[in-house]
Structure 1
Amino acid sequence: MQRRIFSRTAMMVSAVLFAGVEGVGAEEPEELEMVKAIFAEIQPLSFQKKREYCGLIGRDAAGKLIASPAKRGSVDGCTPRDTEEMEVVIASYHTHGSFMRGYVSEVPSVSDMEADESDGIDGWVATPGGRLWYVDSSEMVISQVCGLGCLPVDARFERHDSGPVAESYSYDELVTFFEE
């Protein structure tokens, strides 16, 4: 069976079409709860190993929300692995690794947003300062779901190292943020 990748908009359309399938269309609270649990588990490992960890969130054939196991990446990147059980991929998730002085890790990168857009999915990003970001690839906007300390925080984290961080950024604002 071939896996399908849909954007959040396509998932909402699917929710209308498959309204009888349990859980389809009600993913936001359930998805957020799942994401926070995933990051609570992998953030400490990401800090300890000084690596990004990533995966995918989607639905299985029965419409149940599932996540792929976290995959270890590099210091500054990670490509999630597919899982056969996932029929529909709705989002990626990844940590930003451990705190490194002078490295902007408190905001999702332009390439984070572009990768999700290219895959037609949204994304979730956890930072060393414990921020949780949501990447809306159809709108090309990132938004903080919760700020500093809402997820595990790297003991080496220095709050002011990244400078001021906004609550959200459009794609163009994000490009400008990283050019400054």
Structure 2
Amino acid sequence: MKHLIPLLLLPVGALAQPADEQSLVMGVFASLQPVSIRENVEYCGYVGFDAAGVLIASPPTRGDEASCLSDDPQNIAVITASYHTHGAFTPDYFNEVPSGDDMEGDEEEGIDGWVATPGGRLWYIDTTDMVTFQVCGLGCLPSDADFVAGDMGIVADSYAYDDLVKRLEE
């Protein structure tokens, strides 16, 4: 809720459509994903509107192999979503889906989220309904050459939070 009130101060024509945000995020991931895979670390940041009402992304913050905590964006006046990568492929971690922690973190901040996986999937986290869904599947973003399709079994097109947590505990 904390991010909704400043939105009212933006000019009506400045508000972007969701497709604009998706295009922006896909562009960010197109350049960030190869670095994340090569270094095997997560990168994260925010998407939102600058003071002029232009949709932008914050510079990425480097995390570690299993997590990332974004720096506070200096260039964004109104945050609309987070973004982060999942690093390189590993058979030891179900990194082809957002985690429960990913969803909980976005919910705590009152924003939605975007996640890129080693297989090149793009996920959207909707924290209003606590669901996540694939915006596009394998290979729609740069992917890890070592990625093994099917390693974590069947990956559904969407998950409710409770179902995702159960799936990751299996």
TM-score range, shorter chain: over 0.9
Per-residue CA deviations over 1:125-174 (Å, capped at 9, x if unaligned) read 00000000000011100000000000001001000111110000001111
SS of 2:12 mapped into structure 1: coil
State the distance in 1 between where 2:14 and 2:156 align.
33
Per-residue CA deviations over 1:6-54 (Å, capped at 9, x if unaligned) read 2xxx48xx4xx56843331x33111111000000001000111010011
- TM-score normalised according to structure 1 size: 0.89
Unaligned runs of 5+ in 1: none
Are the equivalent residues in 2 in contact too, given 1:106–1:129 (CA < 8 A)? yes
Q: How many residues align?
A: 170
Relative to structure 1, is the Cα distance of residues 37 and 27 closer, same or farther in structure 2, using a 3 angstrom cutoff?
A: same
Match of 2:104 among 114, 121, 126: 114
Relative to structure 1, is the Cα distance of residues 5 and 48 closer, same or farther in structure 2, using a 3 angstrom cutoff?
A: farther
SS of 2:146 mapped into structure 1: coil
Residue 124, structure 1, aligned to residue 95, structure 2: no
TM-superposed CA distance for 1:175, in Å, is: 1.2
SS of 2:115 mapped into structure 1: strand
State the distance in 2 between where 1:85 and 1:96 align.
24
SS of 1:89 mapped into structure 2: strand
What is aligned with 2:37?
47
TM-superposed CA distance for 1:105, in Å, is: 0.3
State the distance in 2 between where 1:21 and 1:85 align.
20
* Aligned residue type for 1:155: A
1:86-97 equivalent positions in 2, closer than 5 A: 86-97=76-87
Are the equivalent residues in 1 in contact too, given 2:10–2:53 (CA < 8 A)? no
What is aligned with 2:163?
173
State the distance in 2 between where 1:107 and 1:40 align.
18
What is aligned with 1:23?
14
Match of 2:24 among 16, 31, 34: 34
State the distance in 2 between where 1:43 and 1:19 align.
31
1:62-101 equivalent positions in 2, closer than 5 A: 62-101=52-91
State the distance in 2 between where 1:86 and 1:49 align.
27
Unaligned runs of 5+ in 2: none
State the distance in 1 between where 2:13 and 2:112 align.
21
What is aligned with 2:130?
140
Per-residue CA deviations over 1:89-112 (Å, capped at 9, x if unaligned) read 110000000001231000000000
What is aligned with 2:46?
56
